[in-house]
């Protein structure tokens, strides 16, 4: 069974085709890298998989369950989590509250208007543990606005991991980070257990290649090359796209 | 410190009719409480959900009209209260379903339109609303046998409802649902990806907001024993919004302070200054310039600044603590 399967996916914004006959099959536990130039449709593909954008035709399934018609919020409950290339946190809230909101999203408690959120020990302990897993537990009570860019990237990952997803989509987790920060985040991602299937978009080839087992190259909304690390790196089309032929 | 101030405020408010003397001033205080309840309800949408509405006087008025019609049909006050609030909730649900198709400006414009429809009905559906003449009722309820005819007794009744409202808001804001609502205000897309139903969260918040507006509308009816299209006019919605924004959105005390400010200007200052509307406008401009976050958060900020300036060493130590974490 595949963890994530995209079949014959099409999407166009007016005349601009951002996904054309995209097929993607990711095995459980796999580490998949998606590369491609700016505008190749990588982030759009993520948005189509999570349901934040509606698809024109094709299908998306998660562990054999067709989720093509499911709203984005339902997909989160089915075990799909993502991070954003442009950091999307709750800026006025503390790191702990950010991660708590992530946990709350999957809990029936989110509809409760009576109990106090800051008294939900169970939830808060889990949130602290998620922050600890990215090495930020000492900043739990600090507002996001007072943290560094690299720390925010890690909060993004902590929020996704807190939901114990089955499939995790990482959208350029190294974007805008210094070399040391990249190492830290890479180590963090490498430590994610194999129970989590990971699909990652990344531009930084050095870091990304270290991580990936299979690589998919997107070009103008189409999959042009797919294969193991060495297959893709050696492929003439990859060189053509990345080095301009 | 904060608790002491709140306790003093509570005692002052609870004993107000005993020391203020004149029933004219008691009635003004009553109006402040009623509008504070409306503003607190409105604040759920404007402050915590980030959805600015200009149609809340419509919901406030629907409760008042529904109550008036039911009373004049000869129903008891329990039926009147329950009926008026149910009608308001139903109207709120319709408002919410229509208005939540948009956010931002689209949302505002739909609420303006809905408010104007309510105004049109109040003005033109004469067989139901008595048109421009409005509807009079001839009795205030007698809960548990207490007469609410006199100003102090009615004040205390409103004060009890006001306390319940504040308690409900305090609980709501600290709850998981309150946190989800603020999350949906700040990052709706992320909230959806995290598994929240953003639309339903906003819809339920709208109902909660409409409910308290209805409670305020019902008290307003009992207070004036009269309701007319003036109650549901666009200017009434704007006034309610002004209370929330001037006092401080997404705070508990802000809408209360804002309601008090607007009522003081309207009822007290207007006796001395003919162009009280001008003064209210000027005050609003001053608030926007010097305390864009609103009266209550603004005063807290200035107070802290003043304290810090008087005790620079303590402030430096506090800063050290904060930075050194």
Domains of chain B: 25-273 (1.10.3470)
Residue A117 to residue B189, Cβ atoms within 8 A: no
ipTM: 0.91
Check: CB of residue A47 under 8 Å from CB of residue B193.
no
Structure tokens at B240: 């309610």
Residue B108 contacts by C-beta under 8 Å, 6 or more apart in sequence?
A: B52, B53, B54
DSSP 3-state of B287: helix
Q: What is the pLDDT along chain A (245 residues), one digit of tens a residue?
A: 899 999 999 999 988 999 999 999 999 999 999 988 888 899 999 999 999 999 999 999 999 999 999 999 999 999 999 999 888 999 889 999 999 999 999 999 999 999 999 999 999 999 999 999 999 999 999 999 999 999 999 999 999 999 999 999 999 999 888 888 888 888 899 999 999 999 999 877 777 778 888 999 999 888 999 998 888 888 888 888 876 64
CB atoms within 10 A of CB B20: 17
Question: B-chain residues within 8 Å CB-CB of A102?
Answer: 194
Give the closest-approach CA distance of B200 to chain A in angstroms. 10
Which of B288-324 are b and which e, b meaning 16 or more Cβ less than 10 Å from the residue's Cβ? eeebebbbbbbebeeeeeeeeeeeeeeeeeeeeeeee
Write A150-154 long-range contacts (CB < 8 A, 24+).
A150/A177, A150/A178, A150/A181, A150/A184, A150/A185, A151/A95, A152/A87, A152/A89, A153/A87, A153/A177, A153/A181, A153/A185, A154/A184, A154/A185, A154/A188
Closest CB to B186: pick one of A84, A90, A159.
A90
User: Which residue, among A6, A31, A3, A5, has the nearest Cα to A19 in the 3D structure?
Assistant: A6
Task: Please identify which residue in the block is written with the tokens 């920060």.
Answer: A181
Domains of chain A: 1-79+165-245 (3.40.50.300), 93-163 (no CATH)
Check: CB of residue B252 under 8 Å from CB of residue B169.
yes
Give the closest-approach CA distance of A40 to chain B in angstroms. 22
Which of A12-42 are b and which e, b meaning 16 or more Cβ less than 10 Å from the residue's Cβ? eeeeebbbeebebbbeeebbbbbbbeeebbb
Residue B176 to residue A109, Cβ atoms within 8 A: yes
Closest CB to A114: pick one of B171, B189, B193.
B171
Ramachandran assignment for B42, one of left (phi > 0), alpha (psi -120 to 50 degrees), beta (any other): alpha
- Any idea what DSSP says for residue B230? G
Cα–Cα distance measured from residue B170 to residue B184, given in angstroms and rounded to the nearest whole number? 19
What residues are paired with A198 via a beta bridge? A31, A168
Alpha carbon distances (Å) from A75 to A50, A61, B316: 7, 10, 49
Chain B residues within 8 Å of chain A (Cβ atoms): 171-172, 174-180, 182-183, 186-187, 189-198, 204, 208, 325
Please give the model's pTM, rounded to 2 decimal places. 0.91
Structure tokens at A79: 């075990």
């Amino acid at each position: 069974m595949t963890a994530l399967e995209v079949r014959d996916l099409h999407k166009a914004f007016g005349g601009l085709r951002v996904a054309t006959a995209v097929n993607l099959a990711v095995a459980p536990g796999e580490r998949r890298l998606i590369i491609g130039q700016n505008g190749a449709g990588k982030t759009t593909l993520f948005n189509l998989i999570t349901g934040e954008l509606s698809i024109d035709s094709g299908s998306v399934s998660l562990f054999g369950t067709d989720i093509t018609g499911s709203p984005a919020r339902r997909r989160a409950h089915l075990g799909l989590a993502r991070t954003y290339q442009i950091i999307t946190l709750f800026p006025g809230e503390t790191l702990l509250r950010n991660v708590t909101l992530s946990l709350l999203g999957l809990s029936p408690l989110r509809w409760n208007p009576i109990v106090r959120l800051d008294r939900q020990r169970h939830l808060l302990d889990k949130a602290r543990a998620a922050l600890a897993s990215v090495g930020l537990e000492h900043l739990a009570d600090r507002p996001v606005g007072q943290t560094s860019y690299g720390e925010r990237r890690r909060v993004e990952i902590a929020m996704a991991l807190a939901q114990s997803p089955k499939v995790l989509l990482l959208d350029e987790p190294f974007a805008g980070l210094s070399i040391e920060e990249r190492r830290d985040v890479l180590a963090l991602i490498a430590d994610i257990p194999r129970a989590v299937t990971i699909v990652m978009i990344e531009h930084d080839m050095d870091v990304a290649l270290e991580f990936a087992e299979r690589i998919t190259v997107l070009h103008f909304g189409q999959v042009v090359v797919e294969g193991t690390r060495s297959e893709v790196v050696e492929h003439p089309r990859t060189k053509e796209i990345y080095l301009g032929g | 410190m904060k608790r002491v101030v709140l306790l003093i405020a509570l005692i002052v408010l609870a004993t107000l009719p005993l020391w203020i003397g004149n029933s004219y001033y008691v009635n003004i205080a009553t109006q402040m409480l009623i509008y504070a309840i409306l503003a607190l309800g409105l604040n759920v949408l404007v402050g915590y959900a980030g959805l600015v509405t200009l149609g809340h006087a419509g919901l406030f008025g629907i409760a008042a009209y529904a109550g008036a019609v039911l009373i004049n049909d000869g129903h008891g006050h329990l039926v009147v209260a329950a009926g008026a609030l149910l009608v308001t909730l139903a109207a709120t649900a319709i408002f919410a379903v229509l208005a939540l198709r948009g956010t931002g400006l689209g949302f505002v414009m739909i609420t303006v339109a809905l408010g104007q429809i309510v105004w049109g009905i109040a003005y033109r559906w004469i067989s139901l609303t008595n048109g421009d003449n409005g509807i009079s009722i001839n009795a205030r309820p007698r809960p548990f046998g207490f007469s609410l005819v006199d100003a102090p007794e009615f004040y205390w009744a409103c004060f009890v409802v006001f306390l319940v409202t504040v308690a409900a808001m305090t609980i709501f804001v600290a709850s998981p649902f309150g946190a989800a609502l603020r999350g949906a205000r700040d990052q709706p897309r992320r909230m959806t990806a995290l598994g929240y139903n953003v639309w339903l969260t906003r819809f339920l918040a709208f109902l909660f907001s409409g409910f308290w507006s209805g409670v305020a509308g019902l008290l307003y009816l009992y207070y004036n024993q009269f309701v007319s299209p003036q109650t549901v006019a666009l200017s009434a919605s704007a006034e309610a919004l002004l209370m929330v924004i001037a006092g401080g959105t997404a705070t508990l005390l802000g809408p209360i302070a804002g309601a008090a400010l607007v009522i003081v200007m309207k009822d007290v200052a207007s006796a001395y200054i003919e162009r009280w509307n001008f003064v209210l406008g000027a005050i609003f401009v001053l608030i926007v310039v010097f305390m864009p976050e609103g009266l209550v958060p603004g005063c807290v900020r200035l107070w802290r600044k003043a304290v810090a300036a008087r005790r620079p060493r303590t402030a430096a130590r506090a800063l050290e603590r904060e930075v050194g974490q």
